[in-house]
Amino acid sequence: MRRSDQQAPPRQSIGYPGSVHEGSPGVPEGQDWSREEVEACVADYLRILTLQLNGQRYSKAEHARRLLAQLDGRSRASVEFKHCNISAVMVALDYPYIEGYKPRGNFQALLIDVVEAQLQSAPALQEAAQAAVLRPAAPAMLESLESVWVPPPRAQRVAEVPPAYAPRFLAARRDYIAQESRNRSLGRAGELFVAELEARRLHAAGQPRLADRVEHVAATRGDGLGYDVLSFDEGGLERLIEVKTTAFGELTPFYVSRNEVARSEADAPSYHLYRLFDFRDRPRLFDLPGSIRSRCDLEAVTFLARIA
């Protein structure tokens, strides 16, 4: 799906307790990170993210070595854990996150304040993020059927209820994820990738006639069916596939429309949402079959208003 008249991005549940999680590796029990340590860690994270979005090479090991010299006896593992915490804040603010640092909840409230402050004074990062989400995409080459499939990620859930300081009305919030969802070039490239993947899957299963019937319905019939690709399982039953494509990590939130949610519920046995991620560098995807509402946390973010 390429349009962004969507109402709800499924989001990973993120908790915001007031102190660092006691299970953080390398962190002495009861010892929170100081403001100076958090500021140094966030600054390093934003530098790496800027390089990543600009397509420039960097060494995580070298960045970690320099950062550790500024910290009070922290371990490499604790720094990586903190970077994962920062990724969770970035996702909450609708920013991309660093590859390899999957978002993890349970972090200091201080971290939100520091990330927001540094984002406000990071024009290079904002320019890089803007360019990354608007960049046109060329069709990706499908090298093998085996390497592209991954299991669905496990959502991180926490028991805590987000208190009043959870990031809801922060000036640093951007709409980069929403902008990427409106990137028609990226969306179309992802749909074509999945159509080819399905045809090759059926050929490999000894079903060439079914492979020939795979259809990119978003292009041939229109964009309002609630799915993008018509395919089949090996027994000939229809598979209605909605494709969600991102150039970023597998835990990047995505937008779905009310129509897509309704279609997934009406045709749950045959409905599949393919989440295609890291599309520009190494395309991979996972399958969320059945009702979207049963597989994702849905958050209403946009309303259509009429004068009452």
Which tens digit of pLDDT belongs to each residue from 47-101?
Answer: 999 999 999 999 988 999 899 999 988 999 999 999 999 999 999 899 999 999 9
What average pLDDT does the segment 103-124 reach? Answer: 90
Average pLDDT, the chain: 87
**Chain segment 32-42, per-residue pLDDT in tens:** 889 999 999 99
Q: What are the residues whose beta carbons fall under 8 Å from the beta carbon of 252, sequence distance 6 or more?
A: 91, 96, 97, 177, 246, 277
Do 40 and 112 belong to one domain? yes
Do 194 and 278 belong to one domain? yes
**CB of 73 closer than 8 Å to CB of 26:** no
**Chain segment 191-247, per-residue pLDDT in tens:** 999 999 999 999 999 999 999 999 999 999 999 999 999 999 999 999 999 999 999
pLDDT higher for 48 or 141?
48
Residue 120: inside a domain, yes or no?
yes
> Could you give the CA distance from residue 135 to residue 270 in angstroms, rounded to a whole number?
33
Around 174, how many Cα atoms within 13 Å sit in the side-chain half-sphere? 20
Number of domains observed in the structure of the chain: 2
Residue 22: inside a domain, yes or no?
no
Q: What is the pTM of this model?
A: 0.85
| 271-277 and 229-232 strand pairing | unpaired
Residue 199: inside a domain, yes or no?
yes
| DSSP secondary structure letter of residue 300 | -
Do 126 and 188 belong to one domain? no
**CB of 100 closer than 8 Å to CB of 83:** no
> Could you give the CA distance from residue 94 to residue 108 in angstroms, rounded to a whole number?
19
Residue 39: inside a domain, yes or no?
yes
**Chain segment 272-307, per-residue pLDDT in tens:** 999 999 999 999 999 999 999 999 999 888 888 999
State the amino acid at position 239 in one-letter form.
R
- The predicted pLDDT at position 156 comes to 61
Residue 299: inside a domain, yes or no?
no
Residue 3, pLDDT > 50, answer no
Q: Which of 100, 134, 168 is at the close of a domain?
A: 134
Nearest alpha-carbon partner for 134 in 274, 280, 300, 302: 280
Do 116 and 204 belong to one domain? no
Q: Which of 107, 134, 161 is at the close of a domain?
A: 134
Q: How far is CA 62 from the centre of its chain?
A: 26
Q: Which of 76, 100, 134 is at the close of a domain?
A: 134
Residue 11: inside a domain, yes or no?
no
| DSSP secondary structure letter of residue 8 | B
SS3 of 108, please?
coil
Residue 23: pLDDT band by 50, 70, 90 thresholds? very low
> Could you give the CA distance from residue 217 to residue 279 in angstroms, rounded to a whole number?
21
Residue 99: inside a domain, yes or no?
yes
Residue 1: inside a domain, yes or no?
no
Q: Which domain holds residue 107?
A: 35-134
